[in-house]
Amino acid sequence: MGVGDWSVLLSAALAAGWVDAVVGGGGLILLPALLLVTPAATTQQTILATNKLAAVAGTSAAVVTFARKVPLRWRLMAPAGMLAAAGSACGAAVVGLIDKDLFVPIVLVVLVGVAILVTARPTVGVVIGEPPTRRRITVVVITAAVAIGFYDGILGPGTGTFLIIAFATLLGTEFVRSAAMAKVINLGSNLGALAFFSLTVDVLWALGFAMAAANVAGSVVGSRMALARGAGFVRVVLLVVVVALVIRLGWQQFG
């Protein structure tokens, strides 16, 4: 790859880190860039693995930044992150056995539903709901970690977005706290997929580490902006990213 190719990928990694820290969906930016720029001989699994290497660095930085400002229930979130890692590794293990074309239409329907929900209910994620019971919190966080972690290993785009929506709608948490919780789960799912891929396929380590540095920079800026500007800002970015995901996946499926 030439200097221009590296510039494209590092810029994409920077932008992906910012988007991922705020509302998730950074894969919408980075994966297409990798598919476009990397040599044709590069396998899809290698591209996914290299993307996960960059994503692990970015989500780690976001977790640290959010954790300094947003109190998190680590006795629940840490085990949930490990379950997400296990779920994601399982998803990565079976990715070659499942027709991804079956998943894209389902994801499109869910994303359209998310856009309608956030538009029709402007208080979701902006106004804090009544505190849920400890049991409800545990059930929602663990279920989301396993199910969405598995999805992250198989397909990936919008993982953070789905987590934020799940926590905001099912637990009544505002978007900034939901984003902080989502980053912990997403870090686990990224680590799980990366661990599996690193043992089974080639990873472009030099490129991955370079993109990781750019991804961290974007992630730190994005998480700080989310903390500073609050839930209303996150809500707007969420809607933009959901619409972009629908367009991107729709083009992939029907274009």
What is the 3 state secondary structure string of 178-244?
HHHHHHHHHHHHHHHHHHHHHHHCCCCHHHHHHHHHHHHHHHHHHHHHHHHHCHHHHHHHHHHHHHH
How many whole angstroms separate alpha carbon 253 and alpha carbon 57? 30
Residues in the chain, pLDDT under 70: 1, 40-41, 96, 98-104, 106-107, 110-111, 114, 117-118, 121-130, 231, 245, 249, 252-253, 255
Q: What 3-state class would DSSP assign to 70?
A: coil
Alpha-carbon distances, residue 115 vs 105, 106, 175, 208, 249 (angstroms): 15, 15, 15, 32, 15
Exposure of 10 in the CB half-sphere (CA atoms within 13 A)? 14
Residue 111 and residue 245 in contact, taking contact as beta carbons nearer than 8 Å: yes
Give pLDDT, residue 98: 67
Q: Which residue has the tokens 């891929």?
A: 197
Burial degree of 11 (CB within 10 A; 0-12, 13-18, 19+): middle
H-state helical runs in the chain: 3-22, 27-37, 44-67, 74-94, 103-120, 134-154, 159-171, 175-200, 205-229, 231-254
Rounded Cα distance, 140 and 67, in Å: 20
Owner of token pair 């619409």 = 243
* Beta-carbon contacts of residue 109 (< 8 Å; ≥ 6 apart): none
Question: What's the pLDDT score for residue 244?
Answer: 77
Please report the pLDDT score of residue 89 as a whole number.
93
Contact 202, 46 (CB under 8 A): yes
pLDDT at 124: 55
Q: pTM of the entire structure?
A: 0.81
DSSP 51: H
